[in-house]
Amino acid sequence: MKELSHFVGGARVAGTSGRFSDVFNPATGESEAKLPMASADETNAIIEAAAAAQPEWGATNPQKRARVMMAMVSLMHRDMDKLAEALSREHGKTLPDAKGDLQRGLEVIEYCIAAPQMLKGEYTDSAGPGIDMYSMRQPLGVVAAIMPFNFPAMMPLWHVGPALACGNAVVLKPSERDPSVPLMLAELFVEAGLPEGVFQVVNGDKEAVDALLDHEIIQGVSFVGSTPIAQYIYSRACANGKRAQCFGGAKNHLIVMPDADMDQAADALVGAGYGAAGERCMAISVAVPVGEETADRLIDKLVPRIETLKVGPYTAGDDVDFGPVVTREAKERIMGLIETGVNEGAELVVDNRNFTLQGYEDGFFVGPHLFDRVTPDMQIYKTEIFGPVLSTVRAGSYEEALRLAMDHEYGNGTAIFTRDGDTARDFASRVNIGMVGINVPIPVPLAYHTFGGWKKSMFGDLNQHGPDSFKFYTRTKTVTARWPSGIKEGGEFNFKAMD
């Protein structure tokens, strides 16, 4: 069986801990590779090697660093098919989805080409007599990125790109579910001209993560994953004096007003609810039609659309709508939550509990499910299911729908479908959620804006990509400089001249 590795000093390096985790092909259910789980000692050595490589990279001028990003963009285009295949094979998503994952990561690398512009400091001429004041942005040093399984290219690139462009060295800890694409991206960065050791990949689990969180060399920690782990990582990183940004789970509501274009809303819900098997932090998992009539019309439109969705392996061609979920445990968890929903009294209007795919009986496939008449006290409403399951909560009024979204503990994304500008504007202004769509179901901001949720979907201050990422991965230093000419009297500095 294939044995994967870490990536250290510009090359793949075998693990030495003797501990391994299986990497599955979710479509067949077979383990296809063994992934080394780094020990704390291995992780520490990888961090220390990154620290040795960082100063020279940090001192490299931003334009040269930007050129590495330019080359990386070309190399990713060159290898797009190969990367997408490797991504789908371990994650399970369709090839078009895998290319989307890569493309949205690549767009942040394109944005990083603006590093010379983004890293320009501020300058005040003559802040006092003979005194100038300027601030500059300097890299943090060595930073860690601990990433989730669901976007194995995009999520690492959102963090590694800006961190490198700012002059940091990065230690990436990819998800143990789908580590091959991050390793391929590390190789491409070296081919793009990144000095060896500046981008290291450590594969592992809690032991490696804890070593990253505790090592004094690590200055910044970026985490993306589930909320309980985000909270844990945020508190441990902060307790150790590190800068941290930790992005957590989601339960995104899409509100359908009575005046919405119902076909458009139904199409949007199907794409946003079931695309990538619902394994997106910006997936819509709750539909909130306003009024009984709207709800009935929406359900009538949704059911035939959901029933004709095609579930299959990524190898089955472009007409597959979504693939398997990532692991057997994920499938069992989702199926368990569907049973919970039925037992709680929700109405399962599209029921695929007996779904199997001929020839792929051992794959981790879950058919699409639709619940109606879900209520806020139910477990299936409170929990992030992270599977192809859409819940419908009927609201009596716009205010009730808004309150639902606002009262939920998560605050990643939300959307409203309406033709009424006043309602849309009111919603965008009042809702306590980080990313809002108006007749757009998955409002993922582009690379030059920032991405981040509110409430239990985000711990920290600065968002992912866009201008915030350049702030997160740099420290501001402000220099006040005084030169003798103009304030020197009788060979002494005249401090009064500063008044």
Applying CB under 6 A, which part among 19-27, 189-197, 205-213, 393-401 lies near ligand NAD?
A: 205-213
Which residue is closest to ligand NAD by CB? 225
Q: Which tokens go with 340?
A: 């919970």
Applying CB under 6 A, which part among 2-10, 75-83, 134-142, 150-158 lies near ligand NAD?
A: 150-158
Residues 6+ apart with CB under 8 A from 22: 31, 33, 34, 35
- Name which of residues 363 to 382 contact ligand NAD (CB under 6 A): none
Question: What minimum distance in Å lies between the beta carbon of 92 and ligand NAD?
Answer: 13
Applying CB under 6 A, which part among 5-13, 127-135, 220-228, 439-447 lies near ligand NAD?
A: 220-228
Q: Which is nearer to ligand NAD, 192 or 385 (CB)?
A: 385
Choose, by CB under 6 A, the member of 44, 94, 150, 200 that binds ligand NAD: 150
Q: Which is nearer to ligand NAD, 259 or 329 (CB)?
A: 329
Strand partners, 36: 20
| Placement of tokens 């990386």 in the chain | 72
Question: What minimum distance in Å lies between the beta carbon of 483 and ligand NAD?
Answer: 47
Choose, by CB under 6 A, the member of 248, 341, 387, 388 that binds ligand NAD: 248
Residues 6+ apart with CB under 8 A from 108: 154, 157, 158, 161, 162, 447, 465, 469
Asked if 176 interacts with ligand NAD (CB under 6 A), we say yes
Size of the site for ligand NAD (CB under 6 A): 27
User: What is the greatest pairwise CA distance in the chain?
Assistant: 94
Instruction: Report which of 296, 387, 379 is spatially closest to residue 345, judged by C-alpha positions.
Output: 379
Q: How far apart are the first and last CA of the chain?
A: 74
Q: What is the contact mask toward ligand NAD in residues 437 to 476, using x (rule: CB under 6 A)?
A: ----------------x---x-------------------
Helix axes 206-214, 227-239, angle to 10 degrees: 30
Q: Which is nearer to ligand NAD, 208 or 257 (CB)?
A: 208
Give me the phi and psi of 212, to 5 degrees please. -65, -40
Q: Which is nearer to ligand NAD, 35 or 265 (CB)?
A: 35
Question: What minimum distance in Å lies between the beta carbon of 331 and ligand NAD?
Answer: 13
Choose, by CB under 6 A, the member of 5, 103, 226, 231 that binds ligand NAD: 226
Residues 6+ apart with CB under 8 A from 373: 345, 346, 347, 392, 394
Applying CB under 6 A, which part among 99-107, 144-152, 338-346, 367-375 lies near ligand NAD?
A: 144-152
- Name which of residues 263 to 322 contact ligand NAD (CB under 6 A): 281
Q: Which is nearer to ligand NAD, 220 or 453 (CB)?
A: 453
Instruction: Report which of 393, 384, 389 is spatially closest to residue 455, judged by C-alpha positions.
Output: 384
Q: Which tokens go with 76?
A: 């990713």
Instruction: Report which of 168, 172, 145 is spatially closest to residue 237, judged by C-alpha positions.
Output: 145
- The 3-state secondary structure of 8-62, one letter per residue: ECCEEECCCCCCEEEEEECCCCEEEEEEECCCHHHHHHHHHHHHHHHHHHHHCCH
| Placement of tokens 């040269």 in the chain | 64
- Name which of residues 383 to 402 contact ligand NAD (CB under 6 A): 384, 386
- Local structure of 68: helix, strand or coil: helix
Choose, by CB under 6 A, the member of 10, 141, 179, 225 that binds ligand NAD: 225
112 is annotated as an active-site residue: no
Question: What minimum distance in Å lies between the beta carbon of 412 and ligand NAD?
Answer: 5
Residue type, 3: E
Query: Exposure string (b/e) for 248-279, b if CB count within 10 Å is 16 or more?
Result: bbbbbbbbbbbebebeebbebbbebbbbbbbb
Q: Which of 112, 166, 246, 281 is catalytic?
A: 281
| Placement of tokens 């690398």 in the chain | 109
Applying CB under 6 A, which part among 8-16, 35-43, 223-231, 361-369 lies near ligand NAD?
A: 223-231
Give me the phi and psi of 273, to 5 degrees please. -90, -35
Question: What minimum distance in Å lies between the beta carbon of 205 and ligand NAD?
Answer: 5
- Local structure of 411: helix, strand or coil: strand
Q: Which is nearer to ligand NAD, 367 or 387 (CB)?
A: 387
Number of H helices, E strands in the chain: 16, 25
Choose, by CB under 6 A, the member of 6, 137, 173, 465 that binds ligand NAD: 173
Applying CB under 6 A, which part among 22-30, 172-180, 315-323, 392-400 lies near ligand NAD?
A: 172-180
Q: Which is nearer to ligand NAD, 66 or 146 (CB)?
A: 146
Applying CB under 6 A, which part among 15-23, 140-148, 339-347, 389-397 lies near ligand NAD?
A: 140-148
Catalytic residues: 281
Binding site for ligand NAD (CB under 6 A): 146-151, 155, 173, 175-176, 205-206, 209, 224-226, 229, 247-250, 281, 384, 386, 412, 453, 457
